[in-house]
Amino acid sequence: MKNKIVFITGATSGIGEGCARKFAAMGSDLILNGRNTEKLESLKQELSAQGVDVLTLPFDVRDRNAMRKAVESLSGKWKNIDVLINNAGLVIGLDKEFEGNLDEWDIVIDTNIKGLLAMTRMIVPGMVERKCGHIINIGSIAGEAAYPGGSVYCATKAAVKALSDGLRIDLVDTPLRVTNIKPGMVETNFTVVRYRGDKKRADEFYKGIHVLNGDDVAEVVYFAASAPAHVQIAEVLVMPTNQATGTISYKKS
């Protein structure tokens, strides 16, 4: 039986990197996307040593032409993608909605919504044709309700939920599955970007609580992907034990 082919966007850190390691450990061949070519190649060498095939596609999901060229370059077995993990995403800043930076908002919206949409549009038709495939979108607890300083990011993750639900409806007459994974507090480079590179502030945010890491979320992603073909895990909200909602958590002093 052939190895599954898993395409992961934003694979060079955090949840994406965790997913790459988890699926490689379970024998899947990987197409890894990211903006950092050096990190992609390093991860490729590490995972290839485990006996799986790894193809790297360096491009920014905001660059539709680069994405199209990369996808169209796929040949042979690499065309037959079994699992698409739309993971690439970010947030910049914690500004109030009437004070935020429009250029930063463009980056967030173009990555979290338009990048996900474009990847879906380019990959899913092949899955429909082959009558086989699973789309796993990395949403967020932020898509459940807005919180202070997060309205734009929360809106993008609410969009991920709507897009996941809508795609599931569009594919209801096919064997394809759609899953929205919604993590709560996860300690990754994501938070450093949120604080515009201030690692100290990012570390302070997680102080006093045992939060999730990329590997924890990857376990949930793999669980959804490995369910029997007739089982569709539509949505999973996964949080640290001491987190209750997007805004309520308990931190030891």
Ordered domains of the chain (ranges, CATH): 5-238 (3.40.50.720)
Distance of alpha carbon 204 from alpha carbon 211, whole angstroms: 12
107: left (phi over 0), alpha (psi -120 to 50) or beta: alpha
Q: What's the rounded Cα separation, in Å, for the pair 31 and 78?
A: 8
What residues contact residue 135 under an 8 Å CB cut-off, 6+ apart? 83, 84, 86, 120, 123, 124, 127, 164, 167, 176, 177, 178, 179
Distance CA 53, CA 63 (A): 26
Q: Is the pLDDT of residue 2 over 90?
A: no
Helices marked H in 13-115: 14-25, 37-48, 64-72, 102-109
Instruction: Give the tens place of pLDDT for each residue, 183-241.
Output: 999 998 888 899 998 889 988 999 999 999 999 999 999 999 999 999 999 999 999 99
* One-character DSSP codes across 120-153: HHHHHHHHHHHT--EEEEE--GGGTS--TT-HHH
User: Which pLDDT does position 1 carry in this prediction?
Assistant: 60
Q: For 96-107, what is the mean pLDDT?
A: 97
pTM confidence score: 0.97
Active site residues: 153
The confidence score (pLDDT) of residue 190 equals 87
